[in-house]
Amino acid sequence: MTRDDLRQYLEFYRDLGLKEIYNLAPAIPRSARPAGDSIAPTSRGRDAAGAVIPPIAPSGDSLLKIVEDIGDCRRCRLSEQRSKIVFGSGDEHARLVLVGEGPGADEDAQGLPFVGRAGQLLTQMIDNTASKEGIPIRRADVYICNVVKCRPPENRTPLPDEMEICGEFLFRQLMAIRPKAICALGSTAAKALLATKDGVTRLRGTWHKWRDIPLIVTYHPSYLLRPYNQNAKREAWEDLKKVLHYVYD
Ligand code: SF4
């Protein structure tokens, strides 16, 4: 493992919110990996006790491999009541990734992110803003996913351990896509990606970074659906305009 590999590895676990690292076994036994998985033994390091340290992501990682690794995931309690795992949708080579909190009822039923009322608003926001600004993209040109892939019961906020466990897949998605920018929708996504306790009001309006990728924070569309949020709506359109111009100009 090179110094850069080690730095990336530590950054990965820091982003997951882990402060101490013990002997970590590979998440998925080698024998259970799909044929052709390109993780080579030489790509792994060992800690002081000789335990194998998993790489931050399999070399040549792709969304397909991540889906295969998720499988019929039972890694956290959110698996208990879900109907479908909601992995993400959009262009694997998207230059912009939008990250929400977790699936709702419609998403859970269809297995797709942002397909309910909030999703329709998000689609309108992307399509209309791009059209008005003369940017030739539609929703299908970006990639959309959530911090957790299974619906939390009663649409509650995901718990820290659920975000930590499922965050591994989100981070792998982001690393596999390597977009030009990320847009965090709502405070849960901001918390997962920036390890912050600050809310959207404080975080929006300026650029942040996830690893070396510029990141903007804006309101979650479900918050914008509430009738008294005219200011937030205006601000969200401004945020979207800013990130679309940054990515596509
Ligand atoms: S939320 Fe994520 S970690 Fe938890 S069961 Fe679903 S896919 Fe697995």
- State residue 185's pLDDT score: 98
Average pLDDT per run of 10 along the chain, which is 249 residues long?
57 48 37 34 37 54 97 98 98 98 98 98 98 98 98 97 98 98 98 97 97 98 92 96 98
162 CA closest ligand 1 atom index: 4
Distance 155 CA to ligand 1 centre (A): 15
User: CB under 8 Å to 236, separation ≥6 — which residues?
Assistant: 125, 218, 219, 221, 224
- State residue 190's pLDDT score: 98
Q: What's the Rg (C-alpha) of the chain? A: 18
Whole-number Å distance between alpha carbons of 103 and 231: 26
**Binding site membership of 73 for ligand 1 (Cβ less than 6 Å):** yes
Q: What is the signed CA dihedral for 197, 200, 203, 206, rounded to 10 degrees? A: 160
Determine contact, residues 240/224, Cβ cutoff 8 Å.
no
Domain ranges of the chain: 3-53, 63-248
Residue from 148, 159, 164 to probe ligand 1 pocket by mutation (most atoms less than 8 Å from CB): 148
For domain 63-248, give the CATH superfamily. Answer: Uracil-DNA glycosylase-like domain (3.40.470.10)
- State residue 222's pLDDT score: 96
Distance 62 CA to ligand 1 centre (A): 18
- State residue 102's pLDDT score: 98
**Binding site membership of 75 for ligand 1 (Cβ less than 6 Å):** yes
**Binding site membership of 170 for ligand 1 (Cβ less than 6 Å):** no
Distance 95 CA to ligand 1 centre (A): 26
- State residue 4's pLDDT score: 58
- State residue 33's pLDDT score: 36
Residue from 28, 70, 84 to probe ligand 1 pocket by mutation (most atoms less than 8 Å from CB): 70
- State residue 2's pLDDT score: 57
Which among 98, 203, 188, 198 has a CA at the least distance from the CA of 152? 188
**Binding site membership of 203 for ligand 1 (Cβ less than 6 Å):** no
**Binding site membership of 86 for ligand 1 (Cβ less than 6 Å):** no
169 CA closest ligand 1 atom index: 2
Q: What is the pTM of this model?
A: 0.80
- State residue 142's pLDDT score: 98
| Helix residue ranges per DSSP H, 104-182 | 105-110, 117-132, 160-177
Q: Whose CA is nearest to atom 3 of ligand 1?
A: 166
- State residue 43's pLDDT score: 30
- State residue 106's pLDDT score: 98
User: CB under 8 Å to 54, separation ≥6 — which residues?
Assistant: 24, 26, 27, 44
Which residue bears the tokens 């619906």? 151
Determine contact, residues 98/149, Cβ cutoff 8 Å.
no
